[in-house]
Structure 1
Amino acid sequence: MKALLVAAGDEPGKALFLDAVQQAELLIAVDGGLRVFDKYGVEPAFVVGDMDSVEPSLLKKYERKSCFLTAPSEKDDTDLTLAVDKAKEEGAEEIRLLGATGGRIDHLLSNLMLLKYTFQREMSLTIEDDIQEITLHIGTFHISGQPGQTVSIIPVNQKATVTASGLYYPLEDLVLTNGRPRGVSNLMLGNRAEISSDDFVFICKDKKVPLCRKEK
């Protein structure tokens, strides 16, 4: 099952949101993310959070339509973590998360850690906005895209040894560390690249493809 979660960060554009809604089988608003659903006339199946960033009038409008899972303001888990848990409980295997970038940096860092949390719970998570998408990987995997699309490979832990083909800057057992930024702003050569990593890495893909594409 595919789930869409929308949080209260930077609001996704209309096209991105409606595309995500169309592809999802489970819709969850995370606290202030309810505003996005309301703006485009889409009703979520669940609204999860302590509701500290939702206007009382909006809560009243949806309290009889959607299933509210209200958490206390003083809690151990973030609203998004609770929403991920709910998606898992409902049978979700893939999660697309919008509204999780921008705003407070501490929230963004916490949201990035959810990539590993969902992986450990045997779910895949994509954090996405109108500019970029971020996923988590380990082992050998493939990524798809367009020629000229920017791809960055960022180690999650202390270091990751990475080999990659199908990128403008080929990597051969390159050790990426979190003490020296490397692996940023590589480029897709074609529509597919293969990457191997011995530890977790973030894959950040820009959606905008430069008009002037590099050729190897």
Structure 2
Amino acid sequence: MIINILAGGPETRLPSLTDKKWQDDVWVGVDRGVLRLLQQNIQPSKAFGDFDSITQNELSFVRERLRSLEISPAEKDEVDLELALNWAVEQNPSLVRIFGATGGRMDHMFGAVQLLYKGLNADIPIQMIDRQNIVSMHLPGCHEVEQDAAYGYISFVPFSEEIRGLTLEGFKYPLTNHIITWGSTLCISNELIQQRGTFSFAAGILMMIRSND
């Protein structure tokens, strides 16, 4: 089972929500994301939010189309996206995708990036996706990556203070047993030169960002 979570970020940053590649997935709406799913004729299996970003008329539209709607208080310890992600992880899916978490407030975006860490603890891959980027977080080991014409550039950014033993194979700019630290831009904007490549490292937590222009 794959769970897609749609948050309330700018609509211009979203890929097509009705693409056939998502059609068998479970959808979850967060705040304005619930409204957008319903407007796209996508029925969310779960809805989270205080819904302070939509009008009363829009909220009435949401209430009419969802059998049960639990509205969380605006003042709470977790943001709505974290509540949705906690629920998604509890379902033990094979993958969680987060949409609508970029392009708006920077605090919300960086908070969403931090939430990717939850997947490492649960051994569930989480991707944060918008029209231009796919962000994922990885623990030490060897990881395979395939060419994707839609996201041709691949960057690696340390989430922990230090990444030890980083090796890139099948890339335009390969590395062998390298150390990268906070503040380094060495691994920004690489590309695969083969259909498949690998990145591996011995210690740390690494973010991979796949992008297009």
Question: What TM-score, normalized to structure 1?
Answer: 0.88
**Residue identity opposite 1:193 in structure 2:** G
More displaced 10-residue stretch of structure 1: 63-72 or 27-36: 63-72
Selected match of 1:165 from 169, 191, 197: 169
Taking the TM superposition and a 5 Å limit, the aligned residue runs for 1:89-168 are 89-138=90-139, 139-146=141-148, 149-161=152-164, 162-168=166-172
Counterpart of 1:176 in structure 2 is 180
SS in 2 for 1:63: helix
Change over 3 Å in CA distance of 1:65–1:91 after alignment to 2: farther
**Contact 1:84–1:118, Cα closer than 8 Å, also in 2:** no
SS in 2 for 1:80: helix
SS in 2 for 1:18: coil
**Contact 1:8–1:100, Cα closer than 8 Å, also in 2:** yes
Taking the TM superposition and a 5 Å limit, the aligned residue runs for 1:24-35 are 24=25, 26-35=26-35
Selected match of 2:208 from 189, 198, 203: 203
Cα RMSD of the aligned pairs, angstroms, is: 2.0
Taking the TM superposition and a 5 Å limit, the aligned residue runs for 1:47-66 are 47-66=47-66
List 4+ stretches of structure 1 deviating above 6 A. none
SS in 2 for 1:71: coil
Structure 1: 5+ residue runs without aligned partners? 209-216
Rounded to whole Å, the distance in 1 between the matches of 2:178 and 2:24 is 37
Structure 2: 5+ residue runs without aligned partners? none
**Residue identity opposite 1:156 in structure 2:** F
Rounded to whole Å, the distance in 1 between the matches of 2:204 and 2:14 is 36
User: Which whole-Å deviations, capped at 9, do the CAs of 1:46-90 have from their partners, x for residues lacking one?
Assistant: 210111112222221222432323211111111111001121233
**Contact 2:4–2:27, Cα closer than 8 Å, also in 1:** yes
How many pairs are equivalent? 207
What is the identity percentage for the equivalent residue pairs of Structure 1 and Structure 2?
Answer: 25
More displaced 10-residue stretch of structure 1: 52-61 or 15-24: 15-24
Rounded to whole Å, the distance in 2 between the matches of 1:118 and 1:70 is 25
**Residue identity opposite 2:7 in structure 1:** A
**Residue identity opposite 2:142 in structure 1:** T
Selected match of 1:190 from 182, 194, 201: 194
Counterpart of 2:18 in structure 1 is 18
Rounded to whole Å, the distance in 1 between the matches of 2:29 and 2:84 is 8
More displaced 10-residue stretch of structure 1: 88-97 or 28-37: 88-97
Question: What TM-score, normalized to structure 2?
Answer: 0.89
